[in-house]
Chains A and B, each alone.
Chain A
Amino acid sequence: MSSPVVHHAVHAAPKGFLRKYIFSTDHKVIGKQYYLLALFSVFVGMLLSVLMRFHMIYPDAKVSWFEKLWPTGAAGGIMTPELYLSLMTMHGTIMVFFVLTTAPQSGFGNYFLPLQIGAEDMAFPVINMLSFWTTFAALVVLLAAFFVPGGAPLSGWTAYPPLSAVGEIAGPGQGTGQTLWILSIALFCGASLMGAINFIATTIDLRAKGMTLMRMPLTCWAWFVTAILSLLGFAVLLAAGILLLLDRVAGTSFFLPAGLVVNDQILNHKGGSPLLWQHLFWFFGHPEVYIAILPGMGLTSTVLSVFARKPIFGYRAMVYAILAIGFLGFLVWGHHMFVSGMNPYTGIAFSVLTMTIGVPSAIKTFNWIGTLWGSRIRFTTPMLFALGFVSLFVTGGISGIFLGQPALDLYLHDTYFVVGHFHMIMGVAAIFGIFAGTYYWFPKMYGRMMNETLGKIHFYLTFIGVYAIFTPMHFVGVAGNPRRYADFKEFEFLGQLMPVHTFMTHAAFFTAAVQLIFLFNFFWSMKKGARAPVNPWEATTLEWTVPSPPPHDNFGGRLPEVYRGAYEYSVPGADKDYLMQNEPVGAAKTQE
């Protein structure tokens, strides 16, 4: 970061395979690399979740290939509870960091931020490349945890100490596996910080002539605010990770109190506080939720406007809502800790702030409906996913009103109600945003259209599937079902909920299988899809003014000039129902 190297003079395309595809500094190549890394990760993460759902309803099933994969974790082919917990930890970590943080921000953001604001590349291309390869290294280190003695860690993606801090005596996977987990997260923090610096500098300083802040597409606003959240959040997570690592390997006592007796061993720590980790972790962890969802919100806004053929309803309100969410996101971390032993007055203060953050989220929903009102909807696959996003966002957001109240959290905390809530909103709503983005931008990225029929089948089956998986989680949560249980055999009241779990597991199998349609469509279309024109969706933003895929220097050496906002559809008097941002005069005959 000490010597930013900026190339702006001439963008000659690099020669040679390595410089062109592997260690490329081109934001478009890096964006695709991030996207493909996330695509790989999401399938790994999904496979883990399918195995978890399987174990929950068939805890004693013997499956011979389990043993081949995990000789100790599934000795005799029967999955152990510790293996279940390690799958859960890895599922959460992979999904949160390497999918939800990576795809919408680093993937789409890298590819489309420079194109949408009219820049030739990101501000610091070399740092951009470094940032991707650091993320790659982080993923390798994380996955390596599966292959070390003891296996992957089992303390969840939140890694609460003491469980995560005392080492192997707390359980298999808490030795080398947990150390690798921390190293991976630290690498990821570094990569995210580098990425955030790039996004912020690019947005502030590389906008084309005429691209004022209030003319930027909402995606750019979302990426910008997300980058600020990453910058502030990941720095704190890095600090927390360093402290945790020192507690583990250097014998310090940041998070470990005196008097610990773990597995009959007296530990020589004193004076630390497990709650300190929770405060630091959630100071990052809550903004992280918005890091995952904000780009999806920006993209949904754009896609709704494009296919509704109507300007976005309340553009300024949308911008202010993004800013408000970003700001308030840093003041609500305590709502994850209502039952942690935190001071009850602090809890009440956090709950008021938490409810306040619901307001900008509600504004966004109302504005989306407002955008659709009086519109002329074209039901393409990206539009379907954007509409699905709105529905899921409402469903997932509503349950947040329960969880944001400390009183109701007295019962609902750490039940499946919470699992249902965050999967709805941060999981599948964000994933629907990613899908919308994929179907929307694929033509620009790969120069070919994705198959619409397969896309629609994929949408409908996935939409039904995710509701079928995650809605019942709220029901069993209300019945008190605790989360992170490997099986439900020990408790009488949990036995009664087994039919619901069986249903959810089958819904998960179904939904996971449906994703193969997407995978097929993605790779098939890359080779065989119909050639994409410059502007297949008749959208107005700058990425649709350049060839599909864009040349190495994006705009062919001549930066665009911008004349109007990003959402000018169905303007009365125009000769077509959209006005490009860079069109000097919108119509042949100017209306007076």
Chain B
Amino acid sequence: MPLAFIVWAFAVVIVYVFLARLWWFPPPINQHGITYDQHFLSTLLVTGVIFFLAQLALGYVIIRYRDRGKPAVYSHGNNKLEALWTSAAAILFIGAVLASTRVFAGVHLARPPENALRVEVLGKQFAWSFRYPGPDGKFGRTDIKLINDAAGNPFGLDDTDPAARDDIVTSSLRVPAGTPVRLTLKSRDVIHNFFVRELRLKQDLVPGMEIPLHFQADKTGVYEIPCSELCGLGHHQMRSTLEVLTPEEFRKWEQAQLEQLRQLQQP
């Protein structure tokens, strides 16, 4: 008997926390984020109703059919009911997944425009590095033998390649707002995961693979990038940020970086 009330109490609390959004997503910063949230909400609505009704029914039968001396009904089931809830469940579940395919396709099946800003993302135990191709639009040659984190060369850029000399390497990701960005994700040791909550986007970095990922951020601000695939003892410290700048700020920042590069490369 008390069990029924406990079950109901938990059902109410859980539904309340989700309705009141006591702990919730950060606000989205692009269209994909808005669509994601809409789809999450509709899934939440449907499953929330099922969840609440199921727990309600469980509590109900516990109270209603406790032993009060009345004999139990002798029944082995009901084929019609069985067929009804089987097909209802099937339609609901398959429907949910088909509805969500659109959101997934937007990320993984749509192609970014040709003029998208290209950035290479490199994960290593336990830091992030980002590489921009520079004014020539080409990523320069790299060689794993030249990797030197202390000297600021996590990619192993080969300076004898002219295309490599203008590559900007940073430890945080800066992008201009409202511009499509095309990332290429690479890892040089173990699997890491690139996650920006505000973008509603997550993708593994797998050694030996170059995985493309694209997005567009519309709202300026600084957003945290936590590594989201266990990568070793410093996993919880593998942090970087995504800084969404206005296009103007971004241009200025890029120029400053190039200027700095030129000075460093002066003999």
A and B touch in the complex (CB under 8 A): yes
Chain A interface residues (CB < 8 Å from chain B): 80-82, 85, 154-156, 160, 162-163, 166, 170-172, 256-264, 266, 272-275, 308-315, 317, 339-341, 344-345, 347-348, 351-352, 354-356, 358-359, 362-363, 365-367, 369-370, 372-379, 384, 387-388, 390-391, 394-395, 398-399, 401-402, 404-411, 413-415, 460, 463-464, 467, 471, 475-476, 478-480, 482, 484-488, 490-494, 497, 500, 569-572, 577
In the complex, are the beta carbons of B97 and A404 less than 8 A apart? Answer: yes
Please encode chain B, from 142 to 163, with 1 for each CB lying within 8 Å of some chain A CB and 0 for all others.
0011010100000000000000
**How many angstroms between the C-alpha atoms of A310 and B228 in the bound complex?**
48
Segment 20-74 of B: residues with Cβ below 8 Å from A: 22-26, 36, 39-40, 43-44, 47, 50-51, 54-55, 57-58, 61-62, 65-68, 70-74
In the complex, are the beta carbons of B201 and A410 less than 8 A apart? Answer: yes
In the complex, are the beta carbons of B235 and A407 less than 8 A apart? Answer: no
What range describes how many residues of B lie at the interface? 35 or more
Which of B73, B200, B235 contacts A484 (CB under 8 A)? Answer: B235
In the complex, are the beta carbons of B93 and A359 less than 8 A apart? Answer: yes
In the complex, are the beta carbons of B67 and A378 less than 8 A apart? Answer: yes
In whole Å, how far is B44's beta carbon from the nearest beta carbon of chain A? 8
In whole Å, how far is B27's beta carbon from the nearest beta carbon of chain A? 12
Which of A85, A172, A354, A377 contacts B230 (CB under 8 A)? Answer: A85
Q: Of B113-121, B185-193, B248-256, which binds chain A?
A: B185-193
The reply to whether the CB of B261 lies closer than 8 angstroms to some CB of chain A is no
In the complex, are the beta carbons of A480 and B197 less than 8 A apart? Answer: yes
**How many angstroms between the C-alpha atoms of A314 and B78 in the bound complex?**
7
Please encode chain B, from 196 to 232, with 1 for each CB lying within 8 Å of some chain A CB and 0 for all others.
0100111110111101000000000000101111111
In whole Å, how far is B81's beta carbon from the nearest beta carbon of chain A? 7
Cβ of B23: which chain A residues have Cβ within 8 Å of it? 475-476, 478-479, 497, 500
In whole Å, how far is B19's beta carbon from the nearest beta carbon of chain A? 12
**How many angstroms between the C-alpha atoms of A260 and B6 in the bound complex?**
53
In the complex, are the beta carbons of A362 and B85 less than 8 A apart? Answer: yes
In the complex, are the beta carbons of B236 and A485 less than 8 A apart? Answer: yes
Which of B10, B85, B230 contacts A160 (CB under 8 A)? Answer: B230
In the complex, are the beta carbons of A413 and B228 less than 8 A apart? Answer: yes
In the complex, are the beta carbons of A170 and B6 less than 8 A apart? Answer: no
Of all chain B residues, the one with the shortest Cβ separation from A487 is: B236
**How many angstroms between the C-alpha atoms of A309 and B65 in the bound complex?**
11
Cβ of B72: which chain A residues have Cβ within 8 Å of it? 308-310, 374-376, 569-570, 577
Cβ of A467: which chain B residues have Cβ within 8 Å of it? 10
In the complex, are the beta carbons of B188 and A261 less than 8 A apart? Answer: yes
In the complex, are the beta carbons of B78 and A370 less than 8 A apart? Answer: yes
**How many angstroms between the C-alpha atoms of A376 and B50 in the bound complex?**
25
In whole Å, how far is A383's beta carbon from the nearest beta carbon of chain B? 10
In whole Å, how far is A53's beta carbon from the nearest beta carbon of chain B? 15
Which of A262, A358, A388, A406 contacts B100 (CB under 8 A)? Answer: A406
In the complex, are the beta carbons of A401 and B61 less than 8 A apart? Answer: no
**How many angstroms between the C-alpha atoms of A272 and B207 in the bound complex?**
10
